[in-house]
């Protein structure tokens, strides 16, 4: 992704000295070209002579949303922490953090990795019929998540208060946006309570999860290595949280682009089977993951439904699909 070209980084910019000293100290008078990426707080800097590229992530010094600022500031440490578990080498890799400078609003500079994200392969499957490439990348992604979850498993069971709080936050936003009615909100709340108090979710072991497992946050290199980026939302939770988010994103990708509610099903099942296959007790893991998956998958669909760039009627349909997913999942217990 190239982003929007903005020009050259000014020598007087305080960021210039940071990039110079941290990325190419041996280059005489380096010149950095700047591209703004999809987010207005994320920029790509490419040094003209060496073609070394890095990503810079920023926060506003006057941002009053403390939680958001804290999350952005925390990614630098999150990356270091996960890389210490062995994710500093391929094939399962987490992008390398380079520096931060909070007094100028620089949350992080990190290496730039060339490759294609999962969304690229979703489009190839949907528009070109290339199911093989997508299934192959889902297999590799399942391997990455298996490694992440097993290497970071803890003794304690999951804590669900934060999950409940996030579910409520998403519902409140959807209600405010009129995507769901107040009556529908109450129906979601009843389903949420049944899930959270039913015993199934509580018995899962806590692991470190990516926390924002969307198709654009996993890059596949030419050698088919997996690179994870954007670990702002990394936290301790149920492994099914990451798995359910991938499944929800797959459902959305096909439903949004084709109108077919069931187009993603072969890929969802392939992903769940692939993830479970890495465990010695694969059948048991598959059963338990698929039992918990509908809850987190539905939460993901509701989360996506908040995006106002999507068609209004589609957002309502996706929210309804989330309710059906919650209902259907309760029948599996």
Could you tell me the residue ranges of all domains in the chain? 4-111, 116-332
How many angstroms separate the CA atoms of 271 and 242, rounded?
12
219-240 core/surface letters (b: 16 or more CB in 10 A; e: else): bbeeeebbbbbbbbbbbebbbb
What are the structure tokens assigned to 285, written together? Answer: 């893991």
Instruction: Give the pLDDT score at 39.
Output: 75
pTM here is: 0.95
How many angstroms separate the CA atoms of 64 and 54, rounded?
28
Name the DSSP letter for residue 102.
G
**If one looks up domain 116-332 in CATH, what number appears?**
3.90.1200.10
Please answer whether residues 94 and 152 qualify as being in contact, where contact means their C-beta atoms are separated by less than 8 angstroms.
no
Estimate the share of the chain in helix, then strand, then coil, as percent rounded to the nearest 5.
55, 15, 30
Helix (H, G, I), strand (E, B) or coil at 329: helix
Instruction: Give the pLDDT score at 329.
Output: 95
CB proximity list for 83: less than 8 A, separation 6 or greater: 94, 96
Give the closest residue to 245 by CA, choosing from 223, 212, 219, 285.
212
Q: Render pLDDT for 16-28 as a digit per residue (tens, 0 to 9).
A: 999 999 999 999 9
Instruction: Give the pLDDT score at 115.
Output: 97
Question: Tens-of-pLDDT digits for all 333 residues of the chain?
Answer: 568 999 999 999 999 999 999 999 999 999 999 999 977 799 999 999 999 999 999 999 888 788 888 999 999 999 999 999 999 999 999 999 999 999 999 999 999 999 999 999 999 999 999 999 999 999 999 999 999 999 999 999 999 999 999 999 999 999 999 999 999 999 999 999 999 998 889 999 999 999 999 999 999 999 999 999 999 999 999 999 999 999 999 999 999 999 999 999 999 999 999 999 999 999 999 999 999 999 999 999 999 999 999 999 999 999 999 999 999 999 876
Please answer whether residues 85 and 153 qualify as being in contact, where contact means their C-beta atoms are separated by less than 8 angstroms.
no
Name the DSSP letter for residue 103.
G
Beta strands in the chain (DSSP E): 4-8, 32-36, 42-47, 53-58, 92-94, 97-101, 106-111, 116-117, 206-209, 218-220, 226-228, 235-238
The total of other beta-carbon atoms located within 10 Å of residue 307's CB is 12
Helix (H, G, I), strand (E, B) or coil at 297: helix
CB-count burial class (<10 Å; 0-12, 13-18, 19+) for 312: exposed
């Amino acid at each position: 992704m190239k982003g929007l070209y903005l020009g050259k980084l000014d020598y007087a910019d305080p960021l210039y000295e940071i990039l110079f000293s941290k990325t190419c100290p041996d280059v005489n008078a380096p010149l950095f070209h700047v591209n703004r990426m999809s987010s207005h707080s994320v920029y790509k800097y490419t040094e003209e002579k060496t073609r070394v590229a890095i990503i810079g992530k920023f926060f506003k010094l006057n941002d009053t949303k403390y939680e958001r600022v804290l999350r952005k500031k925390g990614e630098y440490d999150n990356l270091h922490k996960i890389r210490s578990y062995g994710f500093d080498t391929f094939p399962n890799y987490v992008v390398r953090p380079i520096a931060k400078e909070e007094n100028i609003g620089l949350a992080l500079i990190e290496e730039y990795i060339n490759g294609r994200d999962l969304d690229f392969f979703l489009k190839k499957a949907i528009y070109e019929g290339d199911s093989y490439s997508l299934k192959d990348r889902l297999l590799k992604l399942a391997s990455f998540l298996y490694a992440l979850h097993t290497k970071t498993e803890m003794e304690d069971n999951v804590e669900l208060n934060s999950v409940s709080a996030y579910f409520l936050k998403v519902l409140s936003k959807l209600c405010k946006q009129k995507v769901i009615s107040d009556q529908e909100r109450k129906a979601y709340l009843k389903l949420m309570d049944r899930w959270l108090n039913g015993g199934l979710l509580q018995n899962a072991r806590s692991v470190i999860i990516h926390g924002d497992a969307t198709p654009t946050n996993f890059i596949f290199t030419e050698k088919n290595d997996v690179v994870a980026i954007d670990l702002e939302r990394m936290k301790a939770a149920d492994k099914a949280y990451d798995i359910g988010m991938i499944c929800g994103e797959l459902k959305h990708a096909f439903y949004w682009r084709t109108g077919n509610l069931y187009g993603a099903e072969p890929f969802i099942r392939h992903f769940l089977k692939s993830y479970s296959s890495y465990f010695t007790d694969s059948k048991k893991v598959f059963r338990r993951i698929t039992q918990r998956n509908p809850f987190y998958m539905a939460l993901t669909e509701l989360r996506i439904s908040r995006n106002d760039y999507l068609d209004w009627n589609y957002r309502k349909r996706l929210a309804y699909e989330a309710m059906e997913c919650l209902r259907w999942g309760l029948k599996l217990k």
